[in-house]
RNA sequence: GGAGAGGUGGCCGAGUGGCUUAAGGCGGCGGUUUGCUAAACCGUUGUACGGUCAAAAGCUGUACCCAGGGUUCGAAUCCCUGCCUCUCCGCCA
C-alpha cells in the first residue's frame, strides 16, 4: 500500500508510474475522494470539539448541583448531526482506502519501462547450455519412464495439475530442500523458519495477495483460513504489528514450505509436466531491512538464490522485469530463469523482489533507529531460493543421458547417500 | 466439542457513566548529585488523521483502552455481536 500523503503530494509521479505499469485508471477519483474526506473530517471534528466542551460544562454544572437540562437539550441535535457526518466521513474514508488497497507499488527508477514480458531486460547469463548428441526429452517423458513421477495416479487421487513423486524421485525432492536450506543457513546467514502452511486473511492482506488476487488462492471453506501460495506470506507476517530494533536488521529468514495455487486463469498454460502445479515445494528467502540498504540487499539476495543454480551447475540467466511485468507489491524484481533443454528456453525458477515499504505499510512492520527515536516502516524483500519442483525437473532434463538415466549433480550426492545416477525404479 | 477466566500505552497493572487531558510502577529519554559505575532524586513520555505554516518545528483539533454495533447530552466503564488468548475436560498425531 502506498502512503496516503505521498500519493497526495506526488500525484503526477504516481499517475505516470501507473501508466508505465499499463494501469492508466487505477487511481480512479482519488483526488476528489481525498478532498471530500478532508472536508468531512473538518466538519465532524469541529462539532465533536464543541460537544466535548459542552459535556465538560454539563459535568461541572451537575457537580455544583445546578440545572443542566438546557445544555443537554441543545446537545441532542448536535449529536445527531455528528452521527450523520461521521457516517459520511467513514464511507468516504472507506472508498479512499479501497482505492489505495488496489493501487500497486511504484516501480523503482532503475526498472526498465516496458509494455510486456518481451521488454524485460537480461542482466547476465551463467553457464553454457549443454550440447546434446541426442534429442533431449522433456521431464514428463523421462520422469514416468524412470518410475519417479506419476501423473495418472495423481489425477485419480486429486486431479489435474498434481503429481506423485515416487522412490528416488521423492527422495530427490527432499534432498533438494535440505541442500537449499543448508546452503542458505550455513553460508548465507539466513535463519530457518518452519511456518504454518495455512494463514488468515490479515496475513494475505499484509503481503498484497488480498484483496485483489483472491482467485489465485485456495480458501478453506467456512473459515478465514487460506492455503499459502508462498512462504513469503507467513514469514513476512512474522513481525506484523511489531517494532524491530535497527541494529538487529537486516533480519534474514529462509523457509521450506509447500505452496498452493489455484492457477485460475492459466488454463492451457504449461499443462504438461510439473512446471505449473496446484501444490509445489519451495525454499523462500525473506529479508527485513532498513530503507537505505534494501537495494543492496536485493542484489545479494538474488546472488544467494543464484548460488543454488551454480552449485547444481544448471545454466541460467537473470532478467530484470520491466514495469508492465512487475508484480503488484514489488518495486523491483529479478527473475532467475533456468535452461530447459527440451523446450530450448529459459524458464522462471526464482523471483527476487524488493517491496520497499509497500508490504510494511500493509502489515505494520516497523523499526526504530534508537530507543528514543520514532518508528519507521522497514523494507521487505523476498525471493525463491529456489522453487524445488522446477529445480527437480531442470536436473532431470539437463542431466539426462541417451539411455534415459540421469546423472546426479555432484553437489547433491551427499544428500542422496552418494547416489551418482538415477536409473529406472522397480 | 463442553465449562470457566480474560483482552487497558513499549511492558506490568489500577480503573462500576462526567475532577481520567488513563492512577501507580517498570523501561526509555533529559537533568541534579557523583572520582567512575551503581543508587537516589527531579522532569519527561504513544500512534494515526486533520488544521495552521512556503516547509519543518511549534501550536491546535479529533480519534484510539481487542473489533463492530447499541444506550446516553456524555462510555475504558452499561448492553449486544464477533474475534483472539489462557485454564480445565473430551477427542487427537
Could you tell me the pLDDT band of residue A20, with boundaries at 50, 70 and 90? very high
- Alpha-carbon gap, residue A266 to A216, rounded angstroms: 10
Q: What is the mean pLDDT of residues A110-133?
A: 95
pLDDT of residue A189: 96
Q: How far is the CA of A229 from the C1' of B69 (A)?
A: 35
> Does residue A18 register a pLDDT over 80?
yes
**Range with the lowest mean pLDDT among A95-99, A155-159, A410-414?**
A95-99
| Dist CA A413 CA A418 (whole Å) | 5
| Segment of A45-59, A266-280, A393-407 carrying the highest mean pLDDT | A393-407
User: Is the dihedral angle over the CA atoms A113, A116, A118, A121 positive or is it negative?
Assistant: positive
C-alpha A217/C-alpha A327 separation (Å) is: 16
Q: Rounded distance, CA A290 to CA A250, Å?
A: 7
For residue A291, the tally of other CB atoms under 10 A from its CB is 14
> Is A390 noted as a catalytic residue in this protein?
yes
pLDDT at position A363 is 86
Least Cα distance to A299 among A282, A287, A284 occurs for A287
Question: Given this model, what pLDDT does residue A371 score?
Answer: 65
Tell me the backbone φ, ψ of residue A358, rounded to 5 degrees: -60, -50
User: What are the pLDDT digits (tens) for A338-371?
Assistant: 999 999 999 999 999 999 999 998 888 888 777 6
Q: Is A348 a catalytic residue?
A: yes
Beta bridge partners of A279: A260
Residue A220 exposed, middle or buried by CB count within 10 Å (0-12, 13-18, 19+): exposed
Lowest-confidence segment of A19-23, A37-41, A56-60 by average pLDDT: A56-60
- Cβ A231 to strand B below 7 Å: no
Is A12 an active-site residue? no
Quote the pLDDT of residue A77.
Answer: 85
Q: Determine if the peptide bond prior to A386 is cis (ω within 30°).
A: yes
Checking if the pLDDT of A61 tops 90, the result is no
- Assess whether pLDDT exceeds 90 at residue A113: yes
Q: Does the CB of A59 fall within 7 Å of any strand B atom?
A: yes
pLDDT value of residue A259: 96
Gap between the Cα atoms of A210 and A10, Å rounded: 25
Please tell me which residue, A263 or A257, carries the higher pLDDT value: A257
**pLDDT classification of A324: cutoffs 50, 70, 90:** very high
DSSP A275: S
pLDDT at A66 over 90: no
Query: What is the average per-residue pLDDT within A299-314?
Result: 98
Output the pLDDT for position A372: 62
pLDDT, position A52: 84
Question: In the β-sheet with A316-320, what is the strand arrangement from edge to edge?
Answer: A121-126, A316-320, A332-340, A345-354, A379-387, A279-289, A251-260, A191-193
- Catalytic, A421? Answer no
Averaged pLDDT, A406-412? 98
Q: Does A397 have pLDDT greater than 90?
A: yes
- Tell me what pLDDT residue A94 has: 85
Rg (alpha carbons) of chain A, rounded to whole number: 27
Pairing of strands A243-245, A251-260: unpaired
Query: How many beta carbons lie within 10 A of that of residue A52, not counting itself?
Result: 9
Q: How far is the CA of A87 from the C1' of B39 (A)?
A: 56
Q: How far apart are CA A80 and CA A84, in angstroms?
A: 6
Query: What is the spatial distance between Cα A301 and Cα A298, in angstroms, rounded to a whole number?
Result: 5
Count of Cβ atoms closer than 10 Å to residue A192 Cβ: 13
CA dihedral A113, A116, A118, A123 (to 10 degrees): 40
> In sequence order, what are the beta bridge partners of A337?
A317, A348
Listed as ranges, the nucleotides of chain B within 7 A of a protein C-beta are: 10, 18-19, 28-30, 46-51, 61-63, 69, 72-74, 84
Task: Name the active-site residue from A48, A95, A276, A368.
Answer: A276
Which of A58-62, A187-191, A294-298, A409-413 bottoms out in mean pLDDT, i.e. has the lowest? Answer: A58-62
Residue A7 has pLDDT above 80, yes or no: yes
Q: How far is the C-alpha of A72 from the C-alpha of A67, rounded, in Å?
A: 10
- Residue A338 C-alpha cell reads as 533456468
pLDDT of residue A53 exceeding 80, the answer is: yes
Q: Kindly report, residue by residue over A195-250, the tens digit of the pLDDT.
A: 989 888 888 988 999 888 888 999 888 788 899 999 999 999 988 888 888 888 89
Q: Which helix (H) or strand (E) holds A164?
A: strand A164-165
Are A390 and A347 contacting, i.e. CB atoms less than 8 angstroms apart?
yes
A194 Cβ nearer than 7 Å to chain B strand? no
Q: Any alpha helices (H) in A229-335, and if so which ranges?
A: 232-236, 294-311
Q: Report the side by side order of strands in the sheet with A366-368.
A: A243-245, A366-368, A375-377
A84 touches strand B (CB under 7 A): no
CA dihedral sign, ordered A222, A227, A229, A232: positive
- Of A250, A256, A316, nearest to A282 (Cα)? A256
Burial class (CB in 10 A: 0-12, 13-18, 19+), A99: middle
Q: In this structure, what are the phi and psi dihedrals at residue A133, rounded to the nearest 5 degrees?
A: -95, 15
A41 CB less than 7 Å from any atom of strand B: yes
What mean pLDDT value characterizes chain A?
91
Amino acid at each position: 500500500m502506498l502512503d496516503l500523503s505521498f500519493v497526495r503530494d506526488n500525484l503526477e509521479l504516481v499517475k505516470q508510474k501507473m501508466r508505465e505499469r499499463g494501469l492508466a485508471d487505477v487511481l480512479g477519483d482519488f483526488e476528489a475522494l481525498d478532498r471530500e474526506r478532508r472536508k468531512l473530517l473538518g466538519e465532524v471534528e469541529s462539532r465533536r470539539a464543541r460537544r466535548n466542551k459542552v459535556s465538560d460544562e454539563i459535568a461541572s454544572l451537575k457537580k455544583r448541583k445546578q440545572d443542566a437540562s438546557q445544555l443537554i437539550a441543545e446537545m441532542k441535535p448536535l449529536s445527531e448531526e455528528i452521527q450523520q457526518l461521521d457516517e459520511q466521513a467513514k464511507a468516504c474514508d472507506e472508498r479512499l482506502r479501497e482505492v489505495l488497497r488496489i493501487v500497486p507499488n511504484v516501480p523503482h527508477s532503475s526498472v526498465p519501462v516496458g509494455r510486456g514480458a518481451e521488454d524485460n531486460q537480461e542482466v547476465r547469463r551463467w553457464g553454457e547450455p549443454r550440447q546434446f548428441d541426442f534429442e533431449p526429452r522433456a521431464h514428463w517423458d523421462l520422469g514416468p519412464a524412470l518410475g519417479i513421477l506419476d501423473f495418472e495416479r495423481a489425477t485419480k487421487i486429486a486431479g489435474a495439475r498434481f503429481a506423485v513423486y515416487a522412490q528416488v524421485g521423492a527422495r530427490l525432492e527432499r534432498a533438494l530442500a535440505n541442500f537449499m536450506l543448508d546452503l542458505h543457513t550455513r553460508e548465507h546467514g539466513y535463519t530457518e523458519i518452519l511456518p504454518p502452511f495455512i494463514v488468515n486473511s490479515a496475513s494475505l492482506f499484509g503481503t498484497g495477495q488480498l484483496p485483489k488476487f483472491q482467485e489465485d488462492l485456495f480458501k478453506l471453506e467456512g473459515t478465514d483460513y487460506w492455503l499459502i501460495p508462498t512462504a513469503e506470506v507467513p514469514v513476512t507476517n512474522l513481525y506484523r504489528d511489531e517494532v524491530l530494533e535497527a541494529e538487529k536488521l537486516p533480519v534474514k529468514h529462509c523457509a521450506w514450505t509447500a505452496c498452493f495455487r489455484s492457477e485460475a486463469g492459466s488454463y492451457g498454460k504449461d499443462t504438461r509436466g510439473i512446471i505449473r502445479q496446484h501444490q509445489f515445494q519451495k525454499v523462500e528467502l525473506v529479508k527485513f531491512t532498513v530503507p537505505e540498504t534494501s537495494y543492496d540487499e536485493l542484489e545479494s539476495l538474488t546472488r544467494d538464490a543464484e548460488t543454488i543454480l551454480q552449485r547444481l551447475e544448471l545454466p541460467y540467466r537473470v532478467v530484470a522485469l520491466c514495469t508492465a511485468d512487475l508484480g503488484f507489491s514489488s518495486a523491483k524484481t529479478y527473475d532467475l530463469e533456468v535452461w530447459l533443454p527440451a523446450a530450448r528456453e529459459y524458464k522462471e525458477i526464482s523471483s527476487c523482489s524488493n517491496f520497499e515499504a509497500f508490504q510494511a505499510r500493509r502489515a505494520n512492520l516497523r523499526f526504530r533507529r534508537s530507543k528514543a527515536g520514532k518508528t519507521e516502516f522497514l523494507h521487505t524483500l523476498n525471493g525463491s531460493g529456489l522453487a524445488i519442483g522446477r529445480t527437480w525437473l531442470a536436473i532431470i532434463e539437463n542431466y539426462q543421458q541417451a539411455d534415459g538415466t540421469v546423472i546426479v549433480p555432484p553437489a547433491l550426492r551427499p544428500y542422496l547417500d552418494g547416489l551418482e545416477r538415477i536409473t529406472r525404479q522397480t
